[in-house]
Amino acid sequence: MKMPKCDFKPKKYTGPSVAKTEQIKSTNIPPAVYNIYKKPLVIHQGHMQWLYDHEGRRYLDLLGGIATISVGHSHPKVAAALKEQIGKLWHTTNIYRHPKIYEYAEKLIAKFPKKLEVVYFVNSGTEANDLAVVLSRMYTGNVDIVSLQGSYHGCSSGLMGLTSTQSFRHPNISLAGYYHAMVPDPYRGIWGGCRDSLSQVPGACSCPGDCVTSDKYAHQLSELLNHSVPSGRLAAMFAEPIQGVHGNLQYPKGYLRKAREIVKKNGGLFVADEVQTGFGRTGDTFWCFESEGIVPDIVTMAKGIGNGFPLAAVVTTREIADAHTRTSYFNTFGGNALASTVGKAVLEVIEEENIQENSKTVGKYFLEQMMQLQKQYPIIGDVRGKGLMIGLDMVKPGTKEPIDNGAEIFETIRDLGVLIGWGGRWNHNLRMTPPMCINKEDVDFAISVLDEAFKRHSP
């Protein structure tokens, strides 16, 4: 397993020792912020698709800060733009005007269908989804919100009901007005299905257009609305076009379009959560909702929007934004000069360096290599994904039961020089959302590491 060559030389680490970080963590950092590895990983520096620990060891980053590093760690153009802006203006407030927010707003809105023309700038995906809840309720006059089982939309007190991933839901915070529809899962769902991916579930159907199972899953959404949501009270449905935390899970072809139609007939808005899927990550389109042939009423985005800088946004229609004027709205840091500068630079890099096309071509190659691994190792139950958003569902061979030794595989992959993500209900999925600048040589190295890890830990 030869790691690809990289001429970058990280600076010498001068921070606290590992023992000191452990002491500070045990004393001053909340225990809910847990270590993902048994042996703590102290990241010192980053360069494009590479991360370096305190000892100078290099790792291929296949997690990208959980789909956050879009164009590469410390990308020189983005870093230079931020440095220049820091020397001019950090922050005012949005009761004044500064040029960068207007330059950025115009450039970002140009990436959307015509009717989506108004953008709110905020600071995180959680904040973006919280604002989308407010907008949907203000516009419709309704209260109730639907999301999908396995969804993750944030874990603030206001969004605890919207998120359906149990590990993020506190048992004593129960919010009324939120409902969770059956997730249409081609691998574990009761009807299976085929998806918009090079890789399909073994034995899946191969429908030329919409998957036949999409009608069945859509019918379950209708049943939820008819039986559980009080008539005339639906404000919105939130959906990630691909569920990130749930293991980069895709739905059967056609489901999202049919779900949107049902929601609209019931008086609600359709909200696409593009926090992980946006900015060209899925390859075929800039926004994943475009590949579904739909135009949402509201789109939320974060993570890759700022390549790691705190920045997020909500894009919607003029009519929905007008309904928000019944009350005042203010966001201290949303769209500040630094964030707007970074966001604009990230968009420019995506265009100039053909990042979306790289996601498509390298992602296809990555998925093909994963499918070859699947043929060798029965513990890989499902391979799925689009572009550079790929997931592996690990199972006990011959079953769909989650694997028992997933943590051991996870640790081995790290020890061999690759950083990867967890996902799924039982933390049995491997998630890959790398910086979108990775190349085929990086993929070959990653595949060799995964091959070795599966070889060591297969029954």
DSSP characters over 350-377: HHHTTHHHHHHHHHHHHHHHHHHHHHH-
- Residues 211 and 196: their CA atoms lie apart, in Å, by 10
Angle between helices 440-457 and 406-415 (to 10 degrees): 130
Q: Cβ contacts of residue 248 below 8 Å, gap of 6+? A: 242, 384, 385, 389, 390, 391, 423, 429, 431, 432, 433
Question: Is the pLDDT reported for residue 172 higher than 90?
Answer: no
Domain with CATH 3.40.640.10 in the chain: 80-352
Tokens standing for 456?
A: 């060591």
Beta bridge partners of 59: 51
Q: What is the pLDDT of residue 387?
A: 98
What CATH fold (topology level) applies to the domain 18-67+354-457? Aspartate Aminotransferase, domain 1 (3.90.1150)
- Residues 108 and 101: their CA atoms lie apart, in Å, by 10
- Chain-centre distance of CA 397, in angstroms? 29
- Which pLDDT band, with edges at 50, 70 and 90, does 174 fall under? low
Q: What is the pLDDT of residue 167?
A: 80
Positive or negative, the CA dihedral 113, 197, 352, 94 is positive
Q: What is the pLDDT of residue 49?
A: 98
Residue 15: what residue type?
A: G
Count Cβ atoms within 10 A of the Cβ of residue 364 and give its class: 0-12 exposed, 13-18 middle, 19 or more buried: middle
Interval 325-336 mean pLDDT? 92
Of 158-162, 295-299, 439-443, the least confident: 158-162
Find tokens 């509201």 and name the residue. 298
Q: What is the pLDDT of residue 171?
A: 79
Among 370, 296, 339, which residue's Cα sits nearest to residue 129? 296
pTM over 0.85: yes
Question: Is the pLDDT reported for residue 153 higher than 80?
Answer: yes
Query: Is 431 in contact with 394 (CB distance < 8 Å)?
Result: no
- Which pLDDT band, with edges at 50, 70 and 90, does 378 fall under? very high
Chain-wide mean pLDDT for the chain?
A: 96
- Residues 49 and 59: their CA atoms lie apart, in Å, by 9
Q: Three-state DSSP class for 442?
A: helix
Question: Is the pLDDT reported for residue 4 higher than 80?
Answer: yes
Question: Is the pLDDT reported for residue 337 higher than 80?
Answer: yes
Task: Name the DSSP letter for residue 270.
Answer: E
Q: What is the pLDDT of residue 405?
A: 87
Q: What is the pLDDT of residue 441?
A: 98
CATH number given to 80-352: 3.40.640.10
Domain with CATH 3.90.1150.10 in the chain: 18-67+354-457
* Alpha helices per DSSP H over 150-268: 213-227, 255-265
Q: Three-state DSSP class for 411?
A: helix
Interval 48-59 mean pLDDT? 97
Task: Name the DSSP letter for residue 325.
Answer: G
Tokens standing for 29?
A: 């950092």
Task: Name the DSSP letter for residue 55.
Answer: T
Q: How many other C-beta atoms lie within 10 A of the C-beta of residue 172?
A: 4
